[in-house]
Structure 1
Amino acid sequence: MDLLRHLGFFVAVAEEGHFGRAAERLGMTQPPVSQGVQRLERRLGVQLFSRGSRGVGLTPAGAELLPQAYALLGGAERFVAEAGRLRDRAVRLGVIPQLSSWHVAALAASTTVTVTTASTVELVDAVTSGALDCAVVHHPALVNSLECGSVIKVPSWFLVPSGHPVTAVTDLRGLPFALPPRSHGTAAFDLFADRLRAAGLDPAFVPASDEREIVAAVAAGRAFGMTCDPHLQAPGVDRVALDDQFSLRVRLVWRALQPDVRDAISAALT
């Protein structure tokens, strides 16, 4: 039995004082309304209406139950409205500064989002507290009790001053590495530094808060950098493809997130 539907019959008949007018108001024929009210009365075990040649009237039990029917129907409407608000609300997404503007645009095009940029530690705290719905963070990283998606390797390129010959990582010796500070993702930073050292490169690190600072440092000839923007072009900067072991590794973290939203965000990163 659809209780809310039958309560709607009850309220319509109570307000109209007539089964026929109630049915017309509901856009129905009279028999289903009459049968629905009878079914509700059997379910409740009380008679809601007294029937007569001049129409119908509320019984004492019906009069006492009518305000509660209004409350239940009103609560259902508020419930549906709140669900709609949550459905239509933009997903509050956090991203690390290493994620390129191109990828952020792809994320925004894949689903309705508002984007916050911060370090992995700050993003994990924001998702944990409920200030953000989800975040794209470094891997590896301490994510507390948050749910995690699969590790995604975002293709990346080295940025070098124009004309700087690079056929191997070791050709970058002598140039500092411009990138966000270690505090933005400590474990990921240390793992990446280990990969560079294993490849024969142990550069000095120059902090750069975002891609603009990295590009500026490279264009000035003061450093090399990295980007995951597949279309980045800038005066004084060359983009060089090297081994994918240096790709940006990220994961999506969340507390509660619709599967279709998770899938859309993950797809936009690949």
Structure 2
Amino acid sequence: MSTTDLAPQELRILVAVAEEGGFSSAAARLGATQSAVSHAVRGIERKLGAVLFERGRFGARPTPAGERAAAHARRVLRLLEAMAADVRRADTGEVAGRLRVAAFRSAALHLLPPALDRLAALHPGVEVTVTVVRELGPGAAGEVAAGRADLGIATLGSPAALPPGLVGGVLLEEPYSLVHPVGYPEPRSLPLVDWTENCGSYTRDWWAAQDWIPAATVTAEDDGAVLSMVGSGLGMAIMPALSLTDAPPSVRITDLGPDRPYRCVGYATTPELAATTPVQALVRILRSLGRSTPERTKPQLRAV
């Protein structure tokens, strides 16, 4: 056996210390003693040849190497679990097991619910948990890369853009539209209401070329708050289609024309989990919903 081989229990200890932020709390989580956990971590560090945690009165904080090691450990442990579930059901063809999904807010609100309803109807043995994450920095795809999610519903900078080490694809492209209070005669003259997750790099060039768009005077927490503020007459906004699903009657949605920007919504997973039946089943359903989205969402989305 190679000196760098780690047993599953060592991987569990590594993840527990990284997530709990200390040896004592990790030991309580694992039902072990603090000295056993501390000894195990020292052994893991020797095997990997790197310091994984900074020790101090604050507890144990993962170093950059520790963060990467914990991400790998989560992914290996999850793959072992998925392998066991797939093997047990190989003879029956049943799609079952645990499926962890991370998604940004508007996808979790408007894209995932019909997909999960269909998944439950077709494959009741799949147990799904959903985490809503802000699409800033690593976002939903980063949750997959870190081993905290099996499938991420994420915004992609371009149809081909995915973080290194992940696989996936585009589900749909959603256009941006001008949103403004009903009855306002010159909506482009209103102040801009925006939120931090809006206007990623894929729209910045278009945004910068529009001399009629002012700097935002109000920055809201999320797209729901933006819609509420626009509906209350506080300004106008430029928003993607998923955020406008079931928009209130107090707002009007105006097409920005043929040069309007689009946002790509896609999925991301690991190469290993892409071969598991729960991930494959949900991706198939999401793709089919992406093709039918224009019938359900205003303004129109383009399925890819």
Give the TM-score normalised by the residue count of structure 1. Answer: 0.56
Q: For residues 74-93 of structure 1, what are the structure 2 equivalents within 5 Å? A: 79-80=87-88, 87-93=95-101
Instruction: Tell me, in whole angstroms, the C-alpha distance in 1 between the residues paired with 2:117 and 2:235.
Output: 33
Q: Which has the larger radius of gyration?
A: 1
Residue 97 (structure 1) aligned with residue 108 (structure 2): no
Judged with a 3 Å threshold, the aligned counterparts in structure 2 of structure 1 residues 96 and 190 are, in CA distance, closer, same or farther, namely same
Residue 114 (structure 1) aligned with residue 134 (structure 2): no
Residue 238 (structure 1) aligned with residue 249 (structure 2): no
Aligned to 1:264: 285
Aligned to 1:45: none
2:221 pairs with one of 196, 209, 212:
209
Residue 133 (structure 1) aligned with residue 150 (structure 2): yes
Instruction: Using the TM superposition, give the Cα deviation of residue 127 of structure 1 relative to its aligned residue in structure 2, in angstroms.
Output: 0.4
Instruction: Using the TM superposition, give the Cα deviation of residue 160 of structure 1 relative to its aligned residue in structure 2, in angstroms.
Output: 0.9
Q: Determine helix, strand or coil for the equivalent of 1:150.
A: strand
Residue 154 (structure 1) aligned with residue 166 (structure 2): no
Contact 1:134/1:252 (<8 A) preserved: yes
Contact 2:108/2:132 (<8 A) preserved: no
Q: Determine helix, strand or coil for the equivalent of 2:282.
A: helix
Instruction: Tell me, in whole angstroms, the C-alpha distance in 2 between the residues paired with 1:142 and 1:78.
Output: 26
Residue 175 (structure 1) aligned with residue 195 (structure 2): no
Contact 1:98/1:227 (<8 A) preserved: no
Instruction: Using the TM superposition, give the Cα deviation of residue 248 of structure 1 relative to its aligned residue in structure 2, in angstroms.
Output: 2.7
Instruction: Using the TM superposition, give the Cα deviation of residue 238 of structure 1 relative to its aligned residue in structure 2, in angstroms.
Output: 1.6
Instruction: Tell me, in whole angstroms, the C-alpha distance in 2 between the residues paired with 1:215 and 1:248.
Output: 18
Contact 2:150/2:269 (<8 A) preserved: yes
The superposition leaves residues 48-78 of structure 1 with CA deviations (integer Å, 9 ceiling, x where unpaired) of: xxxxxxxxxxxxxxxxxxxxxxxxxxxx999
Judged with a 3 Å threshold, the aligned counterparts in structure 2 of structure 1 residues 127 and 77 are, in CA distance, closer, same or farther, namely closer
The superposition leaves residues 1-35 of structure 1 with CA deviations (integer Å, 9 ceiling, x where unpaired) of: xxxxxxxxxxxxxxxxxxxxxxxxxxxxxxxxxxx
Contact 2:102/2:152 (<8 A) preserved: yes
Instruction: Using the TM superposition, give the Cα deviation of residue 210 of structure 1 relative to its aligned residue in structure 2, in angstroms.
Output: 2.5
Q: Determine helix, strand or coil for the equivalent of 1:87.
A: coil
Gaps of 5+ in 1: 1-75
Gaps of 5+ in 2: 1-83, 121-127, 291-302
Instruction: Using the TM superposition, give the Cα deviation of residue 143 of structure 1 relative to its aligned residue in structure 2, in angstroms.
Output: 1.4
2:206 pairs with one of 195, 218, 241:
195
Contact 1:156/1:246 (<8 A) preserved: yes
Judged with a 3 Å threshold, the aligned counterparts in structure 2 of structure 1 residues 104 and 208 are, in CA distance, closer, same or farther, namely farther
Give the TM-score normalised by the residue count of structure 2. Answer: 0.51
Matched residue type, 1:109: D
The superposition leaves residues 148-190 of structure 1 with CA deviations (integer Å, 9 ceiling, x where unpaired) of: 2136302454321121246xxxx524421323x1xx47xx613
Q: Determine helix, strand or coil for the equivalent of 2:211.
A: coil
Q: How many residues align?
A: 186
Instruction: Using the TM superposition, give the Cα deviation of residue 137 of structure 1 relative to its aligned residue in structure 2, in angstroms.
Output: 1.2
Contact 2:85/2:96 (<8 A) preserved: no
RMSD of the alignment, in Å?
A: 3.5
Aligned to 2:241: 228
Instruction: Using the TM superposition, give the Cα deviation of residue 128 of structure 1 relative to its aligned residue in structure 2, in angstroms.
Output: 1.1
Instruction: Tell me, in whole angstroms, the C-alpha distance in 2 between the residues paired with 1:191 and 1:201.
Output: 19
Instruction: Tell me, in whole angstroms, the C-alpha distance in 1 between the residues paired with 2:85 and 2:181.
Output: 61
Instruction: Tell me, in whole angstroms, the C-alpha distance in 1 between the residues paired with 2:224 and 2:246.
Output: 11
Aligned to 1:39: none
